[in-house]
Structures are given as C-alpha cells and as structure tokens.
Amino acid sequence: MSPSDLPVEILTKAAGFVSKYDLLQCTYVCRAWKEPFQDVFMQELVLSGTRTINNAVNPSANIYSQYQRYGHLVRRLTLKPKRLTANEKFLILQQHFPHIRSLCISELGLDNSLQADSFDWSSWGKITELDITIRLYGNTNPQNESLDTLRSFRNLRRLSFLSCIEINSYGIDIFDYGKVGFAFHNIETLHTYLPQLEYLKLETGFGVFSKEDLMDIQNILPAKKMSTLIITSGNLIVPWLCYFAQKYPNLKMLELQSGKAPRTLFEPNDPYTEIAISRFLNTSSAFNHLHKIMIKEYDVQERIFPVFWKILSPSNTTINSVSYITRYTKNNWEHFKKIIKIPSGVRSTTLKALFIQARTNDAIAAPITGVVELCPNLVYLNLECEREKVELDVILDQCSRIRKLRIHGGQLVTSKYATLDSPVHGLERIDMLALKVDCTVFSYISSRCRSLSHMNLQYMRIYGFSQETRELCISMPHTKLSELLLYAVSLHLSDEHPRSDTDIKFILTPKVDNSDRSDTTTVDRISSYTWRYMFWVSCAYTYRKTDMREMDNEEVEHATQYFNQFKPRNSIVNGLEKHMAIEGCSDIYEWEKDLPNGYAIFECLAQALLIALTITSLPSTVNLDSSDHTTSFHWSKLSVKAGLWDVIYDPKPKHLRQTIAAAAAAVVVVVAVFLQTSIFLFFKEPLTLEYEASLLNPFSMLCKSHLIHSLNDVLDIGQAHVNSR
C-alpha cells in the first residue's frame, strides 16, 4: 500500500502527532495527504499581538481573505492581545471562525465605559472550552460584570476563569478582597449560566462568609456534573471548603491553593458560627467520589488540610492521590506534625500516591520521615523538604509496595536500625534531587532494591571517597540499571566545607552487560569502564555551566596509570592552588590538571541502555544548607509541577498511547520511503501547473514555505514521537 492509499482516518490520527511545521510539509506530499493534514493544521490557530488581530479583521490585509476561506476549519482559537476591548473585532472574528469549540483570551478589559453586555458572543454559543482572563478597571460591581461575560456560553464544559481587579503602581490591589471578592451566590450564578460545566478552574479573590451565608449553604442546589475543581485565591478560608463539599458531591479532583488571609473570618468565640460549621463536619455525603486532592496553603492561620479530613465522609474509600504543599517554622513544628496527619482509614485502603512538600527556614532535628505518616499501599511517593533528613530505610519498611520514589531536598540517610539483612524491596525507580548523600547509601539501595532499573540524580552532592586511592565508589553490585540520569552532580571528598575547585571531574560508568570486576586489579577494573570528563564551557560570576564528553582510549590509559601509581600525600594544597589559579579558563582537553581530585565510579550492571545527561554544576554561590535560597539559587526551578506528577501517576494504560505513537511514526517512515523512491511515481498523471497552484493555500502565508524534509529528518521525527511516549 502506498502512502496515498492510506485511509483518511489513519492519516488524520497520524497528523495529530506531527508538529505544525511538519504538517505544512506533509500537505505537499501527494493529493491524498493534502486535505487531512491541512484540516489538522488549521484546527488550532493562535493570533498573538494586537497587530496580528487587527490584520485578521482588516479587509485590506492580505490574510483577511485567507481566514474567510479557511477559517471554518479552526476548532481551537487563542487570542493574545495586550488588551482586547473592541466588540467590532469580535464580530468579525466570529464570522471568520464560526465552528470553534475551544477559545482562549489572554486579557479582556472591562471598565465603566465598556461593560460585559457590550460584547455579543451569540455566534460562539457552542463553545465547550473557555480560558479567559478578565481585567476590571474601576467597575462598581466587578464580580457581576465578569460573570455576565459568561452568560452566552451555556454549552461550556470546561472553564478556566481568572478575574483580576485594577492594581496600582506598586502591584497592590486597589479594592479590598473582602468587599469585592467572590461570594457563594456568585458561584451559584455562574452555574446558572453554565449548567453543563464539568471542569472549573477559578483564580480570583474570595469574600468572607456571614452568619446568614453559612446557614443558606445548606439549601443550595448541587452541581452534580462537576468532576474537577481548581481554586486559587489569596484568601481562601475554611467555610469555602464546606461550601464546595455541599455544592459538588461528585467531584473526582479537587485542588485548592490559598495564601495569607487579609482579615479574620469571624470572632473566635462566636458560638453561632461554630455550630453552623459543625453541621458540615458531620455530613455523610461530602466528597464521596473524590480520587485526587491537592492543597497548597502558605502562611495562613486556618489550615484547610486538617479540616478537609474532618469534612470527608468516614465511608469514603475512593481517594488514591493526596498532595499537600505548605510552609512551617521551628515555632510551629509541633502544630505542623498534627495538621499533616492523614486518617488511618484512608492510609490503609486506597491511597496510592502521596506528595508532601514542606518548606521551612529553620533546621529541625527530627527527620521528616518520622512526621509524615506513610501509607502501606503507596505505589508513588514524592517528598520535598529543604533541610530535613529523610530516612530511606523507614520509607522502604513502611511502604512495601512503592515502585517509584522521588526525594527532593534535605539529606538522604539511613536510620540507626537499618541493616543489609532487611527484606528485599520491589522499588523500580528512584529520583533524587537537591540532596546530600553519603556514597554508602547507594550500597544500601542496591542491597534492598534489586529490581531498581531507573535512577535519576540531579543537583546532588555525593561525598565520601578514599584518600588513599582518590576513588569515590558508588557501589551498587546488585543493581542492573537500564537508565542512569546525571545532572548537576557535585562529587566531593567529604561533606565538610566542599569547594568547587575540589570537584571530581572524572565519572566512570559501566558498559552494557559488563561482568563482575571485583577480582581484577585497579588499573584493569577502571580501564574497563566508560570514562567521562566534565569540563567548563562557559563561566559567569554566579553560574558555571559544564558539559561532559567521553574520553578516548589513550586518555583512559593515561588516567588509569596515574591512579594506579597514586600515592597519598600529607597535603595536596599545591595541586589545589594550581587548580584554583586557572579556574574559569578550563578547556575541553585540559583534563590532566583535574587528576589529583580523584574519580567517581558507578559499580553497577548496565542491563540495556545507559544514559548520561549533560551535567551542569551548581552555582558557585549556592549552599545546600542555606536558608536564603532567593539570593543564591532559584530553587523554584527544581520543583516538579503538578502536571508532571500527574504524568507519573497516570492510571490509564500507556499501551494505547504507545500504539498510536508507533502508528504515527510508521506513517512518517512510509513518507520517507515515498520521498526516497521519488515523489512523482505515486501520481497517476504528471504534476501540472494547475495542481501546483492548488497547493498554494493559507499555509504559505501563515508560515514560510520550506522544502520537504530529507529522509534522515523524517526518520528522526518518527523516532522522536516514539521516544516521547
């Protein structure tokens, strides 16, 4: 079967895995490919910038006629103006793109002269997905104005809604959140406008609850179709959680993020309010279908996390993923240990994934593993802490079913009760980020986790090598790695006063299917490994970037002879001073000067594929013990977002995604063969000027036309799609 004979359904599905640039090229392959790839190409359109939008609605612009002709193919439209305020533009855009189902508007400005009813959205009433940011300028009733914008979208199923008010030059809200923030009756209005809503992401200010509001919540009409709720607010308070429990009984995912509340919700000794809230704490139908909960709260007096477990129905056994992100200090350490508790009924039954991020500026003596109550049925565990110790053996003992473990920050240790005689664990993957680790911990991992196949080390400080041989041995004799990822790993003699000029620059990794080298001499043993050398490629005052290259046989022979003849000296200050004198001007082949610092060797078995990523060293000013991370290093870059954790914890089978990706890659490979044998052989008649003219479509105006990719480029595309899955 030739590429031109493939069914349209297969071509359309394959086109969904191809980038925009490649879709453009595929329209030039043959006639059969033009229409399906063109349709997929035009399904998503981004109009970025006020000038681009003005051209789209200007009849004298060249692109205007193209949008008139092909705009009916667009299904997902994104508008990114600086501030969109003219209704006339919307009317023309609705004529260009009448069949869109997903709309994203980066900013819609409303003020006293331009109200929500100034816009006519009726032509886009069939939209099912809307992502909109509304900025309010001096409105007397801002929440009603922003909600009136949604009145025409009655078919919406997914809504991402950000409503922000005017800010002054200092970036501070001019209006008081307590006066203009969303009240619960505003949420009721929203669901009245959008009865089909299933997904709601709301980012705005929330108002306070009165005594009457707390009583009225009991009489609200539930939104039973809602399955996902994501709320971000600077002043989210406990009664809102009671409201969500009453309003959304069928939620499957709940994400709440709150900052510091600007005012007290009610008087602490108000018995009426306490009685009103207690009615919700005794409910038996709250969050009965919830699968995933994520709560982020910083510097708040009323913690939502412990209240959530009180509201949760005792019979609820559906939660399988819990994420909690918070801050604490040394002064409220005891309080932190209480609020982080998870009910034993949930811990012992359904909970499969747990993510705890606890940040602090104070050093706490107790290890974090002694505070977080681990769950026996956990399959995925993600711990992020900055200064605490994490006892690995405690995790393995309490969580016998864990297959993926991620630890970020602090120091990875083993407790005094850890022994190598402990039961073998089934851990398959471990990710260690921004950790301090003694090299002996890796021996413990290898002894207990003999199914380990993937190990990821990033922003690590590993220490503890021999003064006599200058070898830092990461001994994992029972481990067969199929993937080893190294990034920004710092290797030192000890944990006391590490310096960048004493970093080990030589890393030895095992070759595939290597055999046991324990009986060989040192020179034979280390020469049989793959040697890699880290070198500087750029230097700056606060940041040093390094790269890694594989050393050739002659260099390896010279290095092994050096270490085989190495004799410990009382002092290596002279060598270090020489090293420091030339710091900042290192070259890719100036490696001999780093020999006195020693080498690091990974003693493990490479089962299939061993990957060593480019290594970027830590900034010269970074201190893993420092509490001032804002001035020394951007620690936020090390955090994995919730979306990535969702990918790790994806309950859906991956075989379908891999099959689709492989099918797409196969189609692209067929294209390569087609191009190699000659494009003209697949046409039944010679290529005519008329057909060439028919290939001229809006793609040549929306994107610059390029020649079709070479065979190697197309094969790389197919392989990339398979690897990405």
Higher pLDDT pick, 428 / 162: 428
Does residue 23 share a domain with residue 62? no
- Residue 710 pLDDT more than 70? no
SS3 631: helix
Query: In this structure, is residue 103 part of a structural domain?
Result: yes
Contact 268, 308 (CB under 8 A): no
Is residue 405 one of the residues assigned to a domain?
no
Question: What single letter denotes the amino acid at residue 376?
Answer: P
Tens digit of each residue's pLDDT (9 = 90 or more) over 607-622: 544 454 444 333 333 3
pTM of the prediction? 0.72
Domain identity same for 17 and 112: no
d(CA 147, CA 153): 11
Asked whether residue 658 carries a pLDDT value surpassing 70, the answer given is no
Which amino acid appears at position 113 of this protein? S
Same domain, 124 and 183: yes
| Tokens linked to 716 | 């790389």
> 683 and 552 share a domain?
no
* Mean pLDDT, residues 38-44 taken together: 83
Which of 16-20, 361-365, 697-701, 706-710 ranks highest by mean pLDDT?
A: 16-20
Q: Which of residues 482 and 88 earns the better pLDDT score?
A: 482
Q: Per-residue pLDDT for 365 more than 50?
A: yes
Q: Say if 334 falls within a structural domain.
A: no
Structure tokens at 346: 């949930």
Same domain, residue pair 553 and 675? no
Give residue 26's pLDDT: 77
Cα(177)–Cα(183) distance, integer angstroms: 10
Looking at every residue in the chain, the average pLDDT score rounds to 71
Q: Cβ distance 244 to 254 under 8 Å?
A: yes
Q: Is residue 540 part of a domain?
A: yes
| pLDDT, tens digit (0-9, with 9 covering 90-100), for 231-243 | 988 777 778 888 8
If we measure between CA atoms, which residue out of 176, 128, 120 comes closest to residue 148? 120
Q: Which of 482-491, 651-660, 695-704 has the lowest mean pLDDT?
A: 695-704
| Beta bridge partner(s), residue 175 | none
Buried b (16+ CB within 10 A) or exposed e, 128-160: bbbbbbbbbeebeebbebbbbbbebbeebbbbb
Within a domain: 193? yes
Do 288 and 249 meet the contact criterion of CB atoms below 8 Å apart?
Answer: yes
Rounded CA separation 548/534 (Å) = 4
Q: Which residue has the higher pLDDT, 687 or 412?
A: 412
| CATH code assigned at 87 | 3.80.10
178 and 69, same structural domain?
yes
Where is pLDDT greater, at 512 or 5?
A: 5
The pair phi, psi for residue 131, each rounded to 5°, is -125, 110
Checking if the pLDDT of 325 tops 50, the result is yes
Over 90: is that where the pLDDT of 199 sits?
yes
Tell me if 292 is assigned to some domain: no
Q: Where do the DSSP E strands lie in 49-128? A: 76-80, 102-111
H helix or E strand, kind and range, residue 645: helix 642-648
| Best CA proximity match to 409, nearest among 620, 615, 624 | 624
192 and 142 in one domain? Answer: yes
Give Rg (Cα) of the chain. Answer: 30
Residues whose CB is less than 8 angstroms from the CB of residue 415 and which lie 6 or more positions away in sequence, other chains included: 367, 391, 393, 394
List phi, psi (to 5°) of 472.
-105, 105
pLDDT recorded at residue 631: 28
User: Contact at 8 Å (CB) between 638 and 459?
Assistant: yes
Q: Which of 210-219, 296-305, 327-336, 399-408 is the most confident on average? A: 399-408
Using alpha carbons, select from 384, 347, 382, 387 the residue that is nearest to residue 367.
387
Question: Residue 108's Cα: distance from chain center in Å?
Answer: 28
pLDDT at 432: 94
| Per-residue model confidence (pLDDT) at position 22 | 79
Q: Are 149 and 134 in contact (CB under 8 A)?
A: yes
Q: Which of 254, 246, 240 is nearest to 201 (CA)?
A: 254
Neighbours of 271 (CB within 10 A): 8
Instruction: Check residue 332 and give its pLDDT.
Output: 67
Q: What is the C-alpha to C-alpha distance for residues 5 and 682, in angstroms, rounded to an integer?
A: 10
* Between 79 and 580, residue with greater pLDDT: 79
Q: Rounded to whole angstroms, how far apart are CA atoms 610 and 125?
A: 53
Per residue in 522-563, pLDDT (tens digit) is 556 676 788 988 776 655 444 456 677 888 888 988 888 888
Confidence band, pLDDT 50/70/90 cuts, at residue 128: very high
- In the prediction, which pLDDT does 74 show? 93
Judged by average pLDDT, the poorest of 27-31, 508-512, 655-659, 711-715 is 711-715
Which of 207, 240, 271 finishes a domain? 207
Position 278 pLDDT exceeds 50:
yes
Domain around 28: 3-36+657-724
The Cα 253–Cα 262 span in angstroms is 27
The helix/strand count (H/E) of the chain reads as: 26, 26
**Confidence at 472, pLDDT banded by 50, 70, 90:** confident
Tell me, rounded to whole angstroms, the distance of Cα 347 from its chain centroid: 25
CA dist 725 and 720 (Å) reads: 9
- Asked whether residue 50 falls in the same domain as residue 196, the answer is yes
Instruction: Quickly list DSSP for 374-425.
Output: --TT-SEEEEEESS-EEEHHHHHHH-TT--EEEEESSEEE--TT--TTSPPB
Q: Supply the angle between the helices 711-724 and 655-677 in degrees, to the nearest 10.
A: 180
Average pLDDT of 392-396?
A: 90
Domain count, the chain: 3
Residues 53 and 186 in one domain: yes
Please indicate, yes or no, whether residues 197 and 83 belong to a single structural domain of this protein: yes
Which pLDDT score is estimated for 570?
41
Among 71, 110, 62, CA closest to 94 = 71
Smallest CA-to-CA distance from 19 within 593, 701, 723, 664 is with 664
Q: What secondary structure letter does DSSP report for 235?
A: T
Looking at the structure, tell me whether residues 7 and 47 fall in a common domain: no
Asked which of 159, 181, 207 is the last residue of a domain, the reply is: 207
Q: Worst-scoring range by mean pLDDT, 165-179, 253-267, 679-693?
A: 679-693
Region 26-30 average pLDDT: 76
Reduced to 3 states (helix: H, G, I; strand: E, B; else coil), residue 360 is coil
Record the tokens describing residue 586, joined without a space.
């290192």
Burial status of residue 514 (CB atoms within 10 A of its CB: 0-12, 13-18, 19 or more): middle
pLDDT, tens digit, 9 for 90 and up, residues 555-606? 988 888 888 876 655 444 344 333 333 344 345 567 888 888 888 888 887 6
**Window from 292-296, 490-494, 587-591 with minimum mean pLDDT:** 587-591
Q: What is the mean pLDDT of residues 441-456?
A: 92
Cβ pair 560, 523 in contact under 8 A: yes
What local confidence, expressed as pLDDT, does residue 695 receive? 32
For 128-193, give the secondary structure using H, E and C: CEEEEEEEEECCCCHHHHHHHCCCCCCCCCEEEEEEEECECCCCCECCCHHHHCECHHHHHHHHHH
| Per-residue model confidence (pLDDT) at position 78 | 92
Query: How many Å apart are CA 205 and CA 167, to the nearest integer?
Result: 13
Angle of CA points 423, 426, 428, to nearest 5°: 140
pLDDT band at 261 (very low <50, low <70, confident <90, very high): very low
Tally of CA atoms within 13 A in the half-sphere of 139 that contains its CB: 24
Tell me what percent of the chain is helix, strand and coil, each rounded to the nearest 5. Answer: 35, 25, 40
Query: Which band of pLDDT confidence, cut at 50, 70 and 90, is reported for residue 171?
Result: very low
* Last-in-domain residue among 161, 192, 207: 207
Q: Which residue has the tokens 């830590």?
A: 618
- For residue 381, the model assigns a pLDDT of 92
Q: What is the structure's pLDDT at 581?
A: 34
Task: Give the pLDDT score at 84.
Answer: 63
Q: Over the stretch 332-357, which tens digit does the pLDDT of each residue have?
A: 677 777 777 777 666 667 788 989 88
Q: How far apart (Å, rounded) are the C-alpha atoms in residues 238 and 206?
A: 11
14 and 160 together in one domain: no
CA-to-CA distance for 488 and 427, rounded, in angstroms? Answer: 24
Is residue 102, in this structure, part of any structural domain at all?
Answer: yes
What pLDDT is recorded for position 541?
45
Position 642 in a domain? no
Q: Which residue has the higher pLDDT, 480 or 716?
A: 480
